[in-house]
């Protein structure tokens, strides 16, 4: 019997290019992100200078082709960046995600060549900050229930509505709006079957403003969250993305990547939490021996590692199979966020428990990670929405393993 040796394959680092990216972002995170993380969390400030440095490194256009200054990489690369940044500062990572995935990647795959050339170079470089407006004051998970309207009037649309919980909507404490916001609005249809269209509104357009910057968030405080107002805002026809009424596919395709990268953020939170509690449990003594010799502590550490590694495999395997220019893998993109978001929260919670009083203060990082982790069960789709979607997709069949 002849045996064939199989070459090893690393899901998380499938190529030398991915490994180089991981090393580059890990060094950037250690040298630049970590020193500022606690301060910007406490002050609830978005670090624009750090954001610009990410632009100079080519990270803001990680999935955008080099025609527009991007890195032209894949979903695995996007996961790598989000995992690394979130191991230090999930708040900054969320601002990065809103800009690079929700706005920039969306425009790259759905906008015309002229529109790409108009907006992408400045978004990729970091000169402009981008956001995406989907949720509204009365509409979250039920995205088809959004009430913002865009009424065609000659060569423009008149838009009225409000967008809520918009990451990067404001870029500072004096309510300066982002440079570019991609958003969705009703352009026709009925309440039961709305027609949604995609538009870009730019800073300086009359009627576009920040209603309020959201303060006192539980976590993710290093990203700005705002309510955005569109009041009789006249948007040129040239700022509509794609055909009128055709944005459902834009939305669904980008949601898959958003959920994948949010799951990657949970990986970063969990990984850092494990590192902290392993080191602390080895160094701290109680009753004459290290904490890691107690069975309760061993369970926290071992369970956390096992759950993290299981989620990590699924996240990177889903990234490996995710095309960025097509839609159709909702089952796994919802699935990885469903499992990883709760895993990250639980691991951070165990780390706080292992550290005791020290885990409850900002100096040891896990308190901040614990606060940040909760959003990932809510933002980008609630865990309940993922359960609904996954059950629906499994019921339709076929099973993915057949």
CB 68 within 8 A of CB 124: yes
Cα 289 from chain centre? 41
Q: In this structure, are strands 130-133 and 180-189 parallel, antiparallel, or unpaired?
A: parallel
Collapsing DSSP states into helix, strand and coil, what is residue 202?
A: strand
Element (H, E) at 227: strand 225-236
Catalytic residue among 258, 307, 367, 377: 258
- For residues 157-190, b (16+ Cβ closer than 10 Å) or e, as one string? bbbbbbbbbbbbbbbeeeeebbbbbbbbbbbeee
Catalytic residue at 84?
no
- Contact (CB, 8 A) for 88 and 34: yes
Q: What is the rounded distance in angstroms from the CA atom of residue 329 to the CA atom of residue 372?
A: 27
- The one-character DSSP state at 179 is S
Closest C-alpha among 94, 92, 93, 84 to residue 271: 84
- Supply the residues annotated as catalytic: 258
């Amino acid at each position: 019997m002849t045996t064939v040796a199989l070459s090893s394959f690393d899901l998380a680092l499938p190529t030398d290019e991915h490994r180089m990216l991981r090393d580059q972002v890990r060094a950037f995170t250690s040298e630049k992100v970590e020193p500022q993380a606690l301060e910007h969390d406490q002050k609830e400030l978005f670090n624009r200078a750090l954001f610009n440095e990410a632009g100079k490194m080519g990270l803001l256009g990680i999935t955008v082709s080099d025609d527009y200054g991007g890195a032209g990489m894949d979903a695995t690369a996007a996961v790598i960046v989000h995992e690394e940044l979130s191991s230090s500062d999930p708040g900054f990572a969320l601002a990065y995600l809103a800009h690079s995935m929700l706005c920039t990647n969306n425009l790259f795959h759905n906008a015309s060549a002229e529109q790409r050339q108009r907006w992408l170079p400045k978004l990729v470089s970091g000169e402009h900050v981008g956001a995406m407006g989907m949720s509204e004051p009365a509409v979250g998970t039920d995205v088809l229930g959004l009430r913002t309207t865009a009424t065609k009037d000659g060569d423009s649309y008149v838009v009225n509505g409000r967008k809520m919980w918009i990451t990067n909507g404001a870029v500072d404490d004096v309510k300066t709006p982002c440079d570019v916001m991609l958003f969705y609005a009703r352009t026709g249809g009925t309440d039961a079957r709305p027609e949604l269209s995609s538009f870009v509104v730019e800073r300086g357009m009359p009627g576009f403003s920040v209603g309020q910057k959201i303060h006192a968030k539980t976590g993710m405080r290093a990203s700005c969250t705002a309510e955005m107002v569109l009041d009789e805002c006249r948007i040129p026809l040239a700022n509509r993305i794609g055909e009128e009424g055709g944005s459902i596919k834009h939305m669904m395709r980008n949601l898959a990547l958003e959920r994948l990268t949010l799951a990657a953020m949970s990986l970063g939170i969990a990984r850092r939490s494990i590192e902290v509690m392993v080191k602390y449990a080895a160094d701290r003594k109680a009753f004459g021996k290290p904490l890691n010799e107690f069975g309760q502590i061993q369970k926290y550490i071992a369970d956390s590692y096992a759950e993290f590694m299981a989620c990590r495999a699924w996240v990177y395997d889903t990234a490996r199979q995710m095309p960025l220019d097509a839609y159709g893998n909702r089952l796994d993109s919802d699935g990885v966020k469903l499992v990883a978001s709760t895993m990250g929260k639980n691991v951070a919670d165990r780390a706080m428990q292992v550290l005791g009083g020290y885990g409850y203060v900002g100096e040891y990082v896990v308190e901040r990670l614990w606060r940040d982790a909760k959003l990932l069960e809510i933002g980008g789709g609630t865990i309940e929405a993922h359960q609904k979607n996954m059950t629906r997709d499994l019921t339709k069949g076929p099973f993915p393993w057949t």
